[in-house]
Amino acid sequence: MDEKDLGKRLQLARKRAGLTQQELCHSAGLSYSTLAKIERGAIKSPSVFTVAGIARATGVPLEDLLDLPAQTSGSPAPLEIKKRSKTGVRFVYFDIDGVLLRFMDHAFTEISNDSGMPLQKVENIFWRHNDEVCRGQISETDFNAAVAKEVGLENFDWRRYYLQFTEITPGVLELLDWAAQHYDVGLLSNHMPGLTDELLQKNIIPAHNYKTVLDSYQVKSVKPEAKIFEEARARAGFEPSEILLVDDMRPNLTAADHAGWQIVLFDSLSPEKSIENVKEVLAF
């Protein structure tokens, strides 16, 4: 492929991604004059690092931009060019509990039944210790021991209750499939170590090619704290205004809004309207 053909391919990828030259320069770390010359075919053999930056910014595999030989049977399928919504979104973070999964509160009801303790008190005890384990400040074993002591249950295992009663929110798998087809997507959750991995391994939530899966314990910070949103933005690799958070907790959404993200409140008990709202923000 000569430099003029490469320039045309790069220009097409930029336009399909909905980017102006200035926007691509900002995302890929290029000067305007360099990009303009590359697209005109005026630079012979641009650096592979330069083309790789354009590939990341446009969401097109480097192999496709360089027109490398077709993939072998063992190679991953090439990615489609990702979209930019009319509202400017290019990356979507989905919360897990309360969005992809629902009915975690049914686990509290079962604990209340097993312990004979009022439901409200069970929930208070759980949330009293939850942030510590989700930040990775205490282990899951220590968390279980602390809750067991207060609710009066021997061999208490929160994960067992959680996995028994949570279920996929109706319609959300189709939403996730659709979003992943058109946008880079990631998971952003307040989870104790290993729980999200188990959900993915058991296919309780689908193992998409997520750009990033960020659990609170990895950064020792929970939503709605600023630190986790800063790390999530860095991992997404987009400007704050290009990121959408779908979450069921208003404090988390408020924090994301303050960070410059776009937001959608999700109600897992009435998911149809929430899914409609997400798709409205992601319309392209």
Q: Where are the domains of the chain?
A: 3-65, 91-101+168-281, 105-165
Same fold, 3-65 and 91-101+168-281: no
Architecture in CATH for domain 91-101+168-281: 3-Layer(aba) Sandwich (3.40)
**Residue 88 region, left (φ>0) first, then alpha (ψ -120 to 50), else beta?**
left
Taking the C-alpha atoms of residue 60 and residue 58, their distance in angstroms, rounded to an integer, is 6
The pLDDT, as a whole number, for residue 18 is: 85
> 3-state SS of the chain: helix, strand, coil percent to 5?
50, 10, 40
The pLDDT, as a whole number, for residue 3 is: 85
199, two tokens = 């959900």
* pLDDT tens-place string over residues 92-128: 999 999 999 999 899 999 999 999 999 999 999 999 9
Q: Tell me the residue type at 123.
A: E
0.85 exceeded by pTM: no
The pLDDT, as a whole number, for residue 262 is: 98
* pLDDT tens-place string over residues 13-25: 898 888 888 888 8
Q: What share of the chain in percent tops pLDDT 70?
A: 95
Taking the C-alpha atoms of residue 58 and residue 81, their distance in angstroms, rounded to an integer, is 7
The domain 3-65 having CATH identifier 1.10.260.40: the answer here is yes
Phi, psi of 68, rounded to the nearest 5 degrees: -75, 165
85, two tokens = 């919504």
* pLDDT tens-place string over residues 65-83: 887 764 554 555 444 578 9
DSSP for 78-114 reads: PPPPPP--TT---EEEE-TBTTTEE-THHHHHHHHHH
Q: ω before 224 within 30° of 0 (cis)?
A: yes
Taking the C-alpha atoms of residue 197 and residue 210, their distance in angstroms, rounded to an integer, is 13
The pLDDT, as a whole number, for residue 102 is: 95
The parts of the chain modelled with pLDDT lower than 50 are 70, 73, 77-79
Taking the C-alpha atoms of residue 227 and residue 219, their distance in angstroms, rounded to an integer, is 8
Residue 247 contacts residue 277 (beta carbons within 8 Å): no
The pLDDT, as a whole number, for residue 178 is: 94
